[in-house]
Amino acid sequence: MTPVDPGRGDSKPARAGFEVKMINESMLKGKRILAVDDEPDVLEVIKEHLAGIEVVTADNFDRAQRLIASERFDLVILDIMGVSGFDLLKSCSDRKMPAAMLTARAVNVESINRSLKLGAVSFLPKEELQNLRELVAEILEGLERGESHWKRLFERLGPMFREKFGIIWEDLEKPGPPIYYG
């Protein structure tokens, strides 16, 4: 486990004044991630925060669909808007490939419930990108144990979801166990 400054998203020592969180770096070793977003700067930020991990990127639906259909990834990170993220999520679920939804604008009960129904393993607001490394490690660790990341996500980000978007855990449909590992 490496102490991490949550504002930096890397494994460098935390700066004074920041809460030190522990990332199980072994969960990230040798993993392969597909990041899909129509904004090149978001894809760059994802690659920066996941330095040292193989990150394949797609900036449009067609490229993402081809990659999902032909390759295996330990996790797919899908933007909802701009790349038909829900359609890509369906493709990931059909291939039993875990996917987390990433969005800036579609944070609402309907999109979270739709993500749950279609098999997403997590839902990540873009404003949490600075914590992406830690969140990805948590997701992968949970998948290996056969646990959903959703409850842990709401334990961690519940106050932000409640304050900014009026969403509480009780408003959501509850996920079943993930079917991706085990």
- pLDDT for the residue 116: 83
What confidence score (pLDDT) does residue 58 get?
98
> How many Å apart are CA 57 and CA 74, to the nearest integer?
14
Amino acid at 175: P
CA dist., res. 5 & res. 148, Å (int): 25
Q: What are the sequence ranges of the domains in the chain?
A: 30-167
Question: In this predicted model, what pLDDT tens digit does every residue of 122-154 receive, in sequence order?
Answer: 888 888 889 899 999 999 998 988 877 877 877
Positive or negative, the CA dihedral 28, 128, 62, 92 is positive
CATH class of 30-167: alpha beta
Of the candidates 8, 10, 12, 142, the one whose C-alpha atom is nearest the C-alpha of residue 75 is 142
Residue 126 is predicted with a pLDDT of: 84
- Please give the angle made by the CA atoms of 110, 116 and 121, to the nearest 5 degrees: 135
CA atoms of 68 and 45, how far apart (whole Å): 21
CB 92 within 8 A of CB 74: no
Angle at 72 between CA 66 and CA 78, to 5 degrees: 65
Beta bridge partners of 2: 23
CA distance 30 to 3: 20
pLDDT for the residue numbered 169: 63
Cα 164 to Cα 177: distance, rounded to the nearest angstrom: 28
**Taking the CA of residue 166 as centre, how many other CA atoms within 13 Å lie in the half-sphere pointing to its CB?**
3
Which ranges of the chain have pLDDT less than 50? 1-20, 181-182
The full DSSP string for 144-166 is HHT--SHHHHHHHHHHHIIIII-
Q: What is the pLDDT of residue 124?
A: 85
